[in-house]
């Protein structure tokens, strides 16, 4: 899976949960500070991304979630785990 497809999945999830235009969701944005996501929104975003990438066997490890502060962090993490 390409980096672009993973980014599209993350943008789609953020857009759905936070009701923002997916085109405005860039890799430098911070989930809490810039996108104003609370803990429940973050869980929903994670679940949607996992659903969208399930056919690749992807899942976020719970212990890694606190380290994913930006869209770019989530993107790098997902791409790394997908190999």
Residues designated as active site = 38
Rg of the chain (C-alpha set): 11
Contacts of residue 67, Cβ cutoff 8 Å, sequence gap at least 6: 73, 77
CB 35 within 8 A of CB 24: no
Query: How far is the C-alpha of 32 from the C-alpha of 81, rounded, in Å?
Result: 23
């Amino acid at each position: 899976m390409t980096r672009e497809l993973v980014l599209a999945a993350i943008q789609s999830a953020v857009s759905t949960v936070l009701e923002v235009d997916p085109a405005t969701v860039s890799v430098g944005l911070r989930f809490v500070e810039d996108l104003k996501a609370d803990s429940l929104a973050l869980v929903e975003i994670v679940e949607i991304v996992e659903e969208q990438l399930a056919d690749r066997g992807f899942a976020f490890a719970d212990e890694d979630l606190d380290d994913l502060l930006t869209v770019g962090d989530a993107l790098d993490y997902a791409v790394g785990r997908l190999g």
